[in-house]
Amino acid sequence: MKVSAFHNWKIERFTFTPPVLQVTWRGREYPLYCPCGNSDRAVMFKIRDGGTTYLAMLSFNPRLDYVGLAVYEPENFPTADAGDIHPAGEMFTQGREEYESILGPTGLDLEPVTMARRLFDSIWSDIYGVRPSH
Protein backbone atom coordinates (compact mmCIF):
# COMPACT_ATOMS: atom_id res chain seq x y z
CA MET A 1 0.00 0.00 0.00
CA LYS A 2 1.25 3.48 -0.86
CA VAL A 3 -0.15 6.46 1.04
CA SER A 4 0.57 9.99 -0.16
CA ALA A 5 -0.76 13.48 0.46
CA PHE A 6 -3.64 14.62 -1.74
CA HIS A 7 -3.97 18.37 -2.22
CA ASN A 8 -6.95 18.89 -4.55
CA TRP A 9 -9.57 19.44 -1.88
CA LYS A 10 -11.11 22.07 0.34
CA ILE A 11 -13.62 22.16 3.15
CA GLU A 12 -16.29 24.80 3.27
CA ARG A 13 -17.20 25.33 6.92
CA PHE A 14 -20.49 26.80 8.04
CA THR A 15 -21.85 27.92 11.39
CA PHE A 16 -25.05 25.88 11.65
CA THR A 17 -24.68 23.10 9.08
CA PRO A 18 -22.13 20.34 8.56
CA PRO A 19 -19.04 21.22 6.52
CA VAL A 20 -18.88 20.33 2.81
CA LEU A 21 -15.83 18.59 1.37
CA GLN A 22 -15.06 19.50 -2.25
CA VAL A 23 -12.62 17.24 -4.11
CA THR A 24 -11.23 17.78 -7.59
CA TRP A 25 -10.57 14.45 -9.29
CA ARG A 26 -9.48 14.24 -12.92
CA GLY A 27 -10.51 17.83 -13.60
CA ARG A 28 -13.99 17.57 -12.12
CA GLU A 29 -15.20 18.84 -8.74
CA TYR A 30 -17.21 16.49 -6.51
CA PRO A 31 -19.07 17.23 -3.27
CA LEU A 32 -18.28 14.53 -0.73
CA TYR A 33 -19.92 13.80 2.57
CA CYS A 34 -17.58 15.44 5.08
CA PRO A 35 -16.96 13.33 8.19
CA CYS A 36 -15.29 16.05 10.23
CA GLY A 37 -16.43 18.70 12.64
CA ASN A 38 -15.67 22.39 12.40
CA SER A 39 -12.82 22.26 14.93
CA ASP A 40 -11.18 19.04 13.66
CA ARG A 41 -7.80 18.82 12.02
CA ALA A 42 -8.39 17.32 8.58
CA VAL A 43 -5.88 15.78 6.17
CA MET A 44 -6.60 14.13 2.82
CA PHE A 45 -4.62 11.20 1.39
CA LYS A 46 -4.50 9.22 -1.82
CA ILE A 47 -4.07 5.51 -1.09
CA ARG A 48 -2.97 3.01 -3.74
CA ASP A 49 -3.70 -0.54 -2.66
CA GLY A 50 -3.15 -3.16 -5.32
CA GLY A 51 -4.62 -1.73 -8.50
CA THR A 52 -7.19 0.48 -6.75
CA THR A 53 -6.93 4.14 -5.82
CA TYR A 54 -8.80 5.50 -2.82
CA LEU A 55 -9.15 8.98 -1.37
CA ALA A 56 -9.20 9.09 2.42
CA MET A 57 -10.16 11.95 4.73
CA LEU A 58 -8.53 11.70 8.15
CA SER A 59 -10.07 13.90 10.81
CA PHE A 60 -8.98 14.07 14.41
CA ASN A 61 -9.41 16.24 17.43
CA PRO A 62 -7.08 15.68 20.40
CA ARG A 63 -9.11 18.05 22.59
CA LEU A 64 -12.26 15.98 22.05
CA ASP A 65 -10.23 12.74 22.00
CA TYR A 66 -11.29 11.17 18.69
CA VAL A 67 -10.09 10.19 15.24
CA GLY A 68 -11.91 9.05 12.12
CA LEU A 69 -11.19 8.06 8.54
CA ALA A 70 -13.60 8.11 5.59
CA VAL A 71 -12.53 6.25 2.45
CA TYR A 72 -13.91 7.13 -0.98
CA GLU A 73 -13.54 5.27 -4.29
CA PRO A 74 -13.07 7.96 -6.96
CA GLU A 75 -13.38 5.48 -9.82
CA ASN A 76 -17.01 5.04 -8.71
CA PHE A 77 -17.84 8.75 -8.50
CA PRO A 78 -21.00 9.43 -10.51
CA THR A 79 -20.76 11.16 -13.86
CA ALA A 80 -23.75 13.39 -13.07
CA ASP A 81 -24.46 15.53 -10.02
CA ALA A 82 -25.82 13.24 -7.33
CA GLY A 83 -25.41 15.34 -4.19
CA ASP A 84 -22.91 14.47 -1.51
CA ILE A 85 -21.02 11.26 -2.23
CA HIS A 86 -20.79 9.03 0.82
CA PRO A 87 -17.72 7.00 1.78
CA ALA A 88 -17.26 3.41 0.67
CA GLY A 89 -16.01 2.72 4.20
CA GLU A 90 -15.42 4.72 7.35
CA MET A 91 -14.36 4.38 10.95
CA PHE A 92 -14.74 6.65 13.95
CA THR A 93 -13.07 6.00 17.30
CA GLN A 94 -13.42 8.03 20.46
CA GLY A 95 -11.53 7.64 23.70
CA ARG A 96 -7.97 6.52 24.25
CA GLU A 97 -8.78 2.84 24.79
CA GLU A 98 -10.77 2.62 21.58
CA TYR A 99 -8.35 4.33 19.21
CA GLU A 100 -5.21 2.87 20.79
CA SER A 101 -6.54 -0.63 19.99
CA ILE A 102 -6.05 0.32 16.31
CA LEU A 103 -3.36 3.01 16.35
CA GLY A 104 -1.14 1.64 19.12
CA PRO A 105 0.00 3.20 22.40
CA THR A 106 1.04 6.55 20.90
CA GLY A 107 -2.51 7.10 19.61
CA LEU A 108 -3.19 10.62 18.37
CA ASP A 109 0.50 11.55 18.66
CA LEU A 110 1.27 9.57 15.49
CA GLU A 111 1.92 11.30 12.19
CA PRO A 112 -1.35 11.70 10.25
CA VAL A 113 -0.11 9.44 7.43
CA THR A 114 0.49 6.62 9.94
CA MET A 115 -2.95 7.09 11.50
CA ALA A 116 -4.52 6.96 8.02
CA ARG A 117 -2.64 3.80 7.08
CA ARG A 118 -3.64 1.96 10.29
CA LEU A 119 -7.27 3.04 10.14
CA PHE A 120 -7.45 2.11 6.44
CA ASP A 121 -6.16 -1.38 7.27
CA SER A 122 -8.82 -1.72 9.96
CA ILE A 123 -11.62 -0.57 7.62
CA TRP A 124 -10.39 -2.96 4.91
CA SER A 125 -10.34 -5.80 7.46
CA ASP A 126 -13.91 -5.00 8.57
CA ILE A 127 -15.18 -5.00 4.97
CA TYR A 128 -13.32 -8.06 3.65
CA GLY A 129 -12.64 -10.04 6.83
CA VAL A 130 -8.86 -10.12 6.44
CA ARG A 131 -6.05 -7.61 6.56
CA PRO A 132 -4.41 -6.75 3.24
CA SER A 133 -0.82 -7.87 2.80
CA HIS A 134 1.74 -5.11 2.19
Report if residue 50 sits inside a domain. Answer: yes
The model's confidence at residue 44, banded by pLDDT at 50, 70 and 90, is very high
In the predicted structure, residue 87 carries a pLDDT above the cut 60: yes
In the predicted structure, residue 11 carries a pLDDT above the cut 80: yes
In the predicted structure, residue 132 carries a pLDDT above the cut 60: no
Domain that holds residue 24: 2-128
Report if residue 104 sits inside a domain. Answer: yes
Report if residue 11 sits inside a domain. Answer: yes
Report if residue 42 sits inside a domain. Answer: yes
Report if residue 27 sits inside a domain. Answer: yes
Is the CA virtual torsion 46, 48, 53, 59 positive or negative? negative
**Phi, psi dihedral angles at 117 (to 5 degrees):** -60, -45
Report if residue 133 sits inside a domain. Answer: no
In the chain, which residue ranges form alpha helices assigned H by DSSP? 96-103, 112-128
Judged by average pLDDT, the poorest of 11-20, 56-65, 98-107 is: 11-20
Report if residue 88 sits inside a domain. Answer: yes
In the predicted model, what is the mean pLDDT of the chain?
86
pTM (2 d.p.): 0.86
Report if residue 54 sits inside a domain. Answer: yes
CA-based nearest residue to 55, from 41, 38, 72: 72
Q: How many domains does the chain have?
A: 1
